[in-house]
Structure 1
Amino acid sequence: MRSQQTKYEDFRSLHMRDRAFVIPNPWDAGSARLLASLGFEALATTSAGYAFSVGKRDSFAGLSRDEILANAAQIVAASDLPVSADLEDGFGASPEACARTVEMAVAIGLAGGSIEDATGNPDDPIHDTAAAVARIEAAVDAARGKPFLLTARAENYLWGRPDLNDTIKRLQAFCAAGADVVYAPGLPDLDAIRTVCREVDRPVNVVMGLRGPRYTVEQLSEAGVRRISVGGSFARAALGALKRAAEEVLSRGTFDYADDAIPASVLHALMSDEKREGS
């Protein structure tokens, strides 16, 4: 197994290329092993995908730091790839909470993680800029000298605040605070993505596979994007296949869905054969 330092260095170097790389989002150890086997170079967790897998909604109130990090630790252990975690809002409004979350993330072997500026309060959904920057500064301080790549997220477009100028100012402030990567999910079009990439001096992550327009890796690379994630969309695609298979059985009484299923032999080859004590 590669060291945490080596995985971090490899992860950082992926962001230095002149073309975007895709970082898929597994939601458990099994999906992590499958994605790693396909040739991806890094993985990222998804709070949404994890939430769906345990029958919860993706929300600050519904997901605890301990369970998110436990899920991330399982994904870290499932492959030899660098893993970056969706650390939500840092699991607390204070800078100290964000710093503690980063310290815990480093301790379980993560190569990176993201912290967003959303509050979880629908009446006041985004931290004011000063508070948001203070939270990123604390996270940067916690990661300093450690093998951890920090991504800072500006959540305006996910919370009904489609203000590109404010989003860019926030991302620029996060860069000045020391964030390694910046990310503004929900940007409306390629022109907005291109503008963000031009106006910040850090690698930019963009999410694809969600609602809204979709662009190719080539188009996003040309716009200046350096990392493309898929959020919970792979998990939703898997659940979509499950739903279609179940509906086929219920409505038609047939089992043709099995033609598209991955053979058990292939999955057996990918999964661990370790036995738990007592099993």
Structure 2
Amino acid sequence: MTTHDASELRALHVPGSPLVLPNVWDAASARAVHEAGFPAVATSSAAVARVLGYDDGEQTPVGEMMAAIARIARVVDVPVTADVERGYRLKPAELAARLAEAGAVGCNLEDSLAGGGEMVDPGEQAEFLAEVRAAAGDALVINARIDIYLGGPASRQEAVARGRRYLEAGADCVYPIGLGDEDEIRALVGEVGGPVNIYFRPGMHDLARLAEIGVARVSFGSGPHEATYAYAQSLFEKVRQGHDPF
């Protein structure tokens, strides 16, 4: 496949014309997204973990995760961005090197700890992001997750403050995962000072509405894999009952 660089992926983050990413979990799902015409492919760490037989939350051995990312990058002719949680305890330079070796030109990095979900101090997270940026240079698009909304409604002031620090540290985009209120999304987009990624989930506004309020990137997370798994369960149940599954 053609080698793609981070500048291609970075250029797709346009407020008002968002990059839409139905996240993938293996080479086959990556091919399907590519064939559907999407300009980039993103992995879901939760979905990849389940396919590999692990739970989410950095339970997947880093070698297996990177190998899965490499298989995905090998079969598509578009930029690949990888969800790598908090980096699997790798040092920033090694993380950047492993992502480049796997063929990824972007990554998600979380600001909460695996397991309990405890938030990382924003200064510590900003330092980590700055070190990743220094190691990768411009060869990596960093999507910095802001996890304070995962527990429900949260302080926009804190989210904006974290987002600004992460952008100043070198992040290309911030990702307040779990934020779904339209007014809050619009306000955060207006205040944070950089591209914003929103997680699309059932019951949310449609993609056109998210574009109208200035979102630059929309992710579907593990949702596509969960829907595919549910379909497979129903298919196998039909087989078990002796029916034609198709």
TM-score normalised by the shorter chain: which range applies? over 0.9
How far apart, CA to CA, are the structure 1 residues paired with 2:93 and 2:194? 21
Equivalence for 2:104: 110
Deviates more, 1:111-120 or 1:242-251: 242-251
Distance (whole Å) between structure 1 residues aligned to residue 7 and residue 165 of structure 2? 25
1:56 paired residue among 50, 54, 57: 54
**Larger relative contact order (Cα-Cα within 8 Å, sequence gap ≥ 6):** 2
Contact 1:24 1:42 in 2 (8 A): no
Give the CA deviation at 1:36: 0.6
The equivalent position to 1:217 in structure 2, one of 207, 210, 214, is: 207
Which of 231, 236, 240 does residue 246 from structure 1 map onto? 236
- Name the SS of the counterpart of 1:84 in structure 2: strand
Q: Secondary structure at the match of 2:55?
A: coil
Q: Which residue is 1:128 aligned to?
A: 121
Tell whether 2:142 aligns with 1:150. yes
1:191-245, CA deviations, whole angstroms, 9 ceiling, x for partnerless residues? 11111111122211111136xx412110100111111111111111110101111
Q: Deviations over 1:233-271 (max 9, x none)?
A: 1111110101111223334x311x31xxxxxxxxxxxxx
Q: Does 1:180 align with 2:178?
A: no
Supply the RMSD in Å over aligned alpha carbons.
1.8
1:65 aligns with 2:59: no
| AA aligned opposite 1:199 | E
Match of 2:185? 193
> How far is the alpha carbon of 1:10 from its aligned partner?
2.0
Q: Is the 8 A contact 2:22 2:219 kept in 1?
A: yes
* Residue 45 (structure 1) aligned with residue 43 (structure 2): yes
1:134 Cα offset (Å): 1.0
Q: Matches of residues 24-39 of structure 1 in structure 2 within 5 Å?
A: 24-39=22-37
Match of 1:231 among 221, 232, 244: 221
1:266 is aligned to none
Given that 1:88 and 1:114 are in contact with CA atoms closer than 8 Å, whether structure 2 keeps it comes out as: yes
SS at match of 1:66: helix
Pair 1:159–1:90, CA change in 2 (3 A): farther
Query: Would you say 1:87 and 2:80 are equivalent positions?
Result: no
Larger radius of gyration: 1
- Describe the SS at the equivalent of 1:4: coil
| Post-superposition CA distance 1:161-210 (Å, at most 9, x none) | 72322111101110111111110100131111111111122211111136
Secondary structure at the aligned position of 1:182 is classed as strand
Q: Cα distance, 1:91 vs. partner?
A: 1.7
8 Å CA contact retained: 2:195, 2:217 = yes
2:111–2:145 CA contact under 8 A, matched in 1: yes
Deviation at 1:160, TM superposition (A): 5.6
Amino acid corresponding to residue 176 of structure 1 in structure 2: E
**In 2, Cα distance between equivalents of 1:137 and 1:53:** 32
Deviation per CA, 1:83-108: give whole Å up to 9, x if none.
Answer: 0000101222xxx7234212211222
Contact kept in structure 2, 1:125 and 1:159, CA below 8 Å: no
Secondary structure of 2:91's partner? Answer: helix
Q: Secondary structure at the match of 1:25?
A: coil
Question: Which 10-residue stretch deviates more, 9-18 or 111-120?
Answer: 9-18
How far has the Cα of 1:40 moved from its partner? 0.7
% identity of equivalent residues? 31
2:70 and 2:53 map into 1 onto residues whose CA distance is: 20
| TM-score, length-scaled by structure 2 | 0.93
The 8 Å contact of residues 91 and 98 in structure 1, kept in 2 or not, is answered as no
**Quick check: 2:21–2:219 contact (8 Å CA) kept in 1?**
yes
Gapped regions of structure 2 (runs ≥ 5): none
